[in-house]
Amino acid sequence: MAYMTAEQFKETLANNPLVDIAQQHIFQGLPYVFRDEPESNDLLVGNLCDALDVYEQNVIVVGSAKVGFSLNPNNFPRKFSETSDIDVIVISEELFDKVWMILLEWQYPRRLLNLGGLEGRWAATRRKDIYWGYMVPDEISYQGLSFPEVLKPLRDISSQWFNTFQGLSLHPEFAARTVSGRLYRTREHALRYHTDGLRQIRDKVITT
C-alpha cells in the first residue's frame, strides 16, 4: 500500500472534497504504523472489539499513526516517529448512550438549579462532550460531586476503558507506544470531527 507524503496530502486537500479525503485516507486502509506488520493491526482491533463489544469496522486508527504525519492542525505535518502514540476511535452508540443515561440520572434532579463551581463546570463539560458526539470514558471523574453514588456506574465503564487500552501494552507489538482511545456515538460524528480537522489544516496551508 502506498502512503502519501505530506506534500501530496496538501495537494489533495486543496483539490478534493474534505469528507472524501477523510473517508478514504483516515477511515479506510491499513494504518501507517502497521505498514510492515498488518497482523498487528488485526491484533489491536481484535482486542478492542472483544473487550468493548464492538464491530471491527467501528475501531479505527487515526492521526499520524494512520497516515504517517500529524493531522492535528497545530502540529501538521510532524512525522510519525518511534515514540509517537497510536490514537484510536471506537464507535459505539450503545456504550455512548449508556454513559449519557448515567449522566442524565445525575443531572435531572439538578436541572433547574443554577449549578456553579466544580459541579457547574463538570456538567458543562459533559454537555459539551454530548454535543460534539464523543467522550473519553476514563477521563470522566466525579470526585467532589454531590450524590456520587448515582454516578458510580461510570466507574465500571471508566475502568473497563482504561484497562482495555492499558492492557494492550502487554503485547510486545504495542509495549513501546501509548495507545489511547476516544469514544464516538456514531460514525457520522467521528467523520464530522475529522473532516473539520482537515478543513483547519487546509485553511492554514492555503494561507501560508
The 10 Å Cβ neighbour count of residue 101 is 10
Tell me the C-alpha distance between 165 and 90, whole Å.
11
Q: What are the grid coordinates assigned to 126, written together?
A: 459533559
Average pLDDT over residues 134-155: 86
| Reported pTM | 0.92
- Residue 208 pLDDT > 70, yes or no? no
Which range, 5-14, 100-109, 119-128, 143-152, is most confident?
5-14
149 pLDDT higher than 90: no
Enumerate the domain spans of the chain. 1-208
The band of 1, judged by pLDDT with boundaries at 50, 70 and 90, is low
* H or E element, residue 127: helix 117-132
pLDDT at 106 over 60: yes
Quick count: other Cβ atoms within 10 Å of Cβ 87? 19
pLDDT tens digits, 6-51: 999 999 999 999 999 999 999 999 999 999 999 999 999 999 999 9
Q: What is the pLDDT of residue 155?
A: 87
Structure confidence at residue 146 as a pLDDT band (50, 70, 90): confident
pLDDT bin (cut points 50, 70, 90) of residue 144 is confident
Q: How far apart are CA 74 and CA 59, in angstroms?
A: 25
